[in-house]
Amino acid sequence: MNIETVMVIGAGQMGAGIAQVFAASGYQVSLYDVDQKNTQKGIEGIDKRLKKQVGKGSLSAKEYEEIMERLHLANEITAAQKADLIVEAVVEKMEVKQAIFAELDSLAPSHTVLATNTSSLPITEIAAVTTRPEKVIGMHFMNPVPVMKLVEIIRGLATTDEVYQAVYETTKKLNKTPVEVHDFPGFVSNRILMPMINEAVFTLYEGVANEEDIDQVMKLGMNHPMGPLTLADFIGLDTCLFIMETLHKGFGDDKYRPCPLLRKYVKAGWLGRKTGKGFFTYET
């Protein structure tokens, strides 16, 4: 299975980052978003990040030009007809992802692998709306994509060894470290991380300590580079809540019950860095 051309669906922070690392690794990449303004913004963001690398001397002007030449703005989702691998990176809603996968299944050639960057949703359920569940797989990149080395490779119930191996080898070509994960809610990363963040929110909710001191305990006592509440603000409190709800529903275990304070902040629109207010306040 030879992967040369890649299409990324969704041009937000994750999608643009995924497109960037594929283009930087020699792949021809089409970036598509249902909102063309987002696609243009995604390409401009990649251009800005690469120019910053050139300014720092970590990327040559020639390398910058070559990467940008491999990046293409796709105006229509029909660009899927020319892709060997398609990576979906849209909003974390099952119905949205299933609708996209059903459409991609009808457009893409039979050999095309369909991957999702979901952080917690079942791969098998996404694959069920296609006629090629054996070619559907999870590629969960970490944020920010150009910096973080880990990619969780998640097999669905029907994913073949050939497809898994092709995606595994492709991930290594991106200078990333692939880790095999089976299809359970939250996979490995968020099954461990999100309950820790949720427990930090409970610790705040119950008045055990304030925001700064909770983060200090984890940074200085556990050697975490970032405190859990600061990390929650970086991820987005709405995303944290969604993943906790996915874990709670998927396992039916109350140890994954989202903290009421997390729900309250999300309902207030305090979503973290992206809104300027979460557990901490940020300049916007």
Q: Is 175 considered catalytic here?
A: no
C-alpha distance from residue 32 to each of 16, 106, 107, 158 (Å) = 10, 17, 14, 27
Catalytic pick among 25, 30, 72, 152: 152
Q: Is 190 considered catalytic here?
A: yes
Give the pLDDT confidence score for residue 106 in this predicted structure.
Answer: 97
Give the pLDDT confidence score for residue 214 in this predicted structure.
Answer: 98
Residue 283's pLDDT band, with cuts at 50, 70 and 90, is confident
119 is in an annotated binding site: yes
Catalytic pick among 30, 117, 119, 120: 119
198 is in an annotated binding site: no
List helix spans (H) across the chain.
13-24, 36-56, 61-70, 94-107, 123-127, 161-173, 189-205, 211-216, 228-235, 237-251, 260-267
Residue 1's pLDDT band, with cuts at 50, 70 and 90, is confident
Give the pLDDT confidence score for residue 251 in this predicted structure.
Answer: 96
What is the distance between the alpha carbons of residues 112 and 132, in angstroms, rounded to a whole number? 9
138 is in an annotated binding site: no
| Rounded average pLDDT over 215-237 | 97
pLDDT digits (tens, 9 = 90+) for 134-162: 999 999 999 999 999 999 999 999 999 99
C-alpha distance from residue 31 to each of 19, 89, 234 (Å) = 7, 11, 24
Pick from 20, 6, 9, 13: nearest CA to 167: 6
Catalytic pick among 25, 117, 120, 140: 140
116, pLDDT greater than 80 = yes
Q: Is 72 considered catalytic here?
A: no
Whole-number CA gyration radius for the chain: 19
13 is in an annotated binding site: yes
Residue with tokens 């809104």: 275
Token output for 49: 């990040």
Please confirm whether the linkage preceding 225 is cis (ω < 30° from 0): no
17 is in an annotated binding site: no
Per cent of the chain over pLDDT 70 is 100
| Rounded average pLDDT over 226-234 | 97
Catalytic pick among 30, 117, 120, 190: 190
For residues 49 and 20, the answer to whether their CB atoms sit within 8 Å is yes
Give the pLDDT confidence score for residue 77 in this predicted structure.
Answer: 96
221 is in an annotated binding site: no
Domains of the chain with CATH codes = 5-182 (3.40.50.720), 191-274 (1.10.1040.10)
